[in-house]
Amino acid sequence: MLNTIIIEDEKPAFESLVSTLSDVATDVNIVTRLSSVKESISYLSRQPSLDLIFSDVQLGDGLSFDIFSHVNIRTPVIFITGYDNFMMNAFEYNGIDYLLKPVDRNDLLKALVKYRMLERHFSDHQPFNNLVQYVNDHKKKRLIVRKGLENIALRLEEVVLFFTENKIVYAMDRLGKKYLADHTLSELEETLDQESFFRANRQYIININYIRGFKAFEKVKLQVELTLPELNHSIIISQEMAPQFRDWMHKA
């Protein structure tokens, strides 16, 4: 049996998906229904044994992407939503497909076929856990950040740096705009592409594409200059990290 959960806050939408699933597959076991970001984080934090997740994008207490940002799961996800503007974000969070509401029977069938093809490929050639590794290894291209009450899908290529200020983590884009990141720097460090981003020190992660250069500072440290005009941040690389930073820059 294919053990799955459905994350959906609207009961009619949940019932419609269950009905359509029963039409196209006889081996799908719906373990439970979750209806909020908070509930889903709590449930998935217990690391239940699941094969697949169906998830609505917009829930009553936020976007379901927040779930997969907070919980490190090893389960592929099929996202379902009434809007197509979240499509690119879906593939940054274990997404293997993206369906629009109301879910079409043939589209759902194709999504399940896609899942089974991936399952078969990794079962034939290597452990199936590598399916999740395959999904996770596609580095994030966007990050959900906040500006006031608005959730924004910020392209990582436009992020100049991440930094902490008064124990809050911010992202700053190439225009100098500041956003709440809702992650620790350590969490970001684990998910960002290490070819593009470098943990300069306890306060900063910097994007190599916005580094103008660097120079010696206090003889044994390095001071990094970024291309962003009027940047009120002094980014210092410690003596211990300086060789690693130089090597990272030269390999870029």
For the question of whether the overall pTM of this predicted structure is more than 0.75, the answer is no
pLDDT given at position 207: 95
Q: What is the pLDDT of residue 12?
A: 92
Could you write out the three-class secondary structure of 42-101? HHHCCCCCCCEEEEECEECCEECHHHHHHCCCCCCEEEEECCCCCHHHHCCCCEEEEEEC
Question: How confident is the model over 103-149, as pLDDT tens digits?
Answer: 888 999 988 888 887 776 555 444 445 555 555 555 567 888 998 88
Please tell me the distance from the alpha carbon of residue 144 to that of residue 134, in angstroms, as a whole number: 22
Which ranges in the chain are annotated with CATH 3.40.50.2300? 2-136
Residue ranges matching CATH 2.40.50.1020 in the chain: 142-251
Q: What is the mean pLDDT of each run of 10 residues along the chain (252 residues)?
A: 92 92 88 94 90 91 86 84 62 76 89 81 50 53 86 90 93 93 85 87 94 91 88 88 91 74
Q: How many residues does the chain have?
A: 252
What pLDDT is attached to residue 128? 45
Architecture of the domain defined by 142-251: Beta Barrel (2.40)
Distance from C-alpha of 126 to C-alpha of 239, rounded to nearest angstrom:
42
Query: What single-letter amino acid sits at 199?
Result: R
Give the pLDDT score at 236: 94
Q: What is the CATH number of domain 2-136?
A: 3.40.50.2300
Q: Which percentage of the chain shows pLDDT scores above 90?
A: 42
